[in-house]
Chains A and B, each alone.
Chain A
């Protein structure tokens, strides 16, 4: 850590203290006034002789902890609780929406891409079902076996990112370019924030799913995925009933947004229930952030279609 030309130990400590003080500015002023010098003292105590630069792990800890305190006085438990609550919900959303797109769009054939030629993927119109199937299979593995979630979710995210390139490589029909951001980028067209982006965001949140989820969490993921598929399907059906020109996807995505909202309401209900056993702050802060994590991508995809 003490790279560069040698300086005397006192000068090195002075430099290190100044750099740690600069990092401590990540904290809100009141916390910094109360604790800042003590933290700097601890980090100087923990430093190696002659060290002039903050240890990367300590620097990251200060920055993340400072940000955490700035955005609402959260404890590390709040962040952990938030991600633990959001992870399974994100996996259920990604799998449920993927199942809908797989069955309700790709298989239903609207619009009929195969009229321009025979698809090498059988009944499916494009290569997108490969990634949809991967998400559904991942959720199924997590629900049935209760393990392998994180590596499989990572694989799904990688598959979404690589899909346009894999399609080129294996001469498969490209995922529909009108709703996949990465396909657009691949063809150097104007980027849009669409369904693949949503899957990537949901996938990153879903990585917070516990490595060994409880049976209750697994049941929740399965029920959530099925409910989201059903609501998306119902939304699509209602849209086509109410407006002959409505594109089935609009209603479907709106339906998925409604499903996300319903999931959020359920979370608030759970928070209220938990508040009986703990404080409101402990319950509601993590779930509020979990909600935000999921509402943002849900809004994102809904707006992308209107």
Chain B
């Protein structure tokens, strides 16, 4: 998944990109909650957490890990070499755990707000009844 790490500078933040960035970072932090993981472990866990929707590239992962480590949200917990493979493990810091919890709370609050507003404001009908009937899929009419 091509995920920009920060929002683009085209005048106004593009919500889709911004959410994509946020989601990748959010999922990386979430992947490290239960145990330290190495790079490939993080990639796999992010893919699992997102039901296969978010597949990070190596460059995106290490950009994010560098930034998160720079901000003190994660740290290196150890290294191991298996055969020819160097694996560096990352773990969440106390600050990282607190930030993730705060972000999860903020997202939950926002999601509740959106759901409440959507429930209170049903979509406007744009089609006249006959037009809507003409465009309705055949299964919508029920058993014949």
Which residues in A have some Cβ–Cβ distance to B below 8 Å? 13-14, 17, 35, 37-46, 57-58, 61-62, 64-65, 75-77, 80-81, 83-85, 87-88, 210, 212-214, 216-217, 220, 274, 282-283, 286-287
Contact = CB atoms under 8 A, between A and B. Distances in A.
A282 B10 contact: no
Given A14-B84, A62-B58, A45 B40 contact: yes
Contact of A80 (B17, B59, B61, B85): B17
B10 A217 contact: yes
B9 A39 contact: no
Interface in B38-64: 38-40, 43, 57-63
Contacts, number: 107
Contacts of B123: none
A85 B40 contact: no
Given A45-B39, A58-B57, 18 more contacts: A13-B83, A38-B87, A41-B39, A41-B86, A42-B38, A42-B39, A62-B58, A65-B59, A75-B5, A75-B6, A76-B4, A76-B59, A77-B4, A77-B6, A77-B21, A80-B6, A80-B17, A85-B10
Interface of B: 3-12, 14, 17, 21, 38-40, 43, 57-63, 67, 83-88
17 contacts: A14-B84, A37-B86, A38-B39, A38-B62, A38-B87, A44-B84, A61-B59, A65-B59, A75-B5, A75-B67, A76-B59, A77-B7, A80-B4, A84-B14, A87-B10, A282-B6, A287-B9
Dominant SS among interface residues on chain B: mixed
Nearest to B14: A210
B27 to A, nearest CB: 17
A216 B38 CA distance: 43
A17 B10 contact: no
Nearest to B84: A17
Contacts of B39: 38-39, 41-42, 45
A81 B9 contact: yes
Contacts of A61: 57-59
Nearest to A42: B39
Contacts of A75: 5-6, 63, 67
Contact of A62 (B14, B17, B59, B83): B59
A210 B57 contact: no
Nearest to A58: B58
A216 B11 contact: yes
Contacts of A39: 39, 58, 62
Nearest to B6: A77
B11 A220 contact: yes
A41 B85 CA distance: 4
A88 B8 CA distance: 13
A42 B43 contact: yes
Contacts of A216: 11-12
Contacts of B85: 40-41, 44-45
Nearest to A80: B4
Nearest to A43: B58
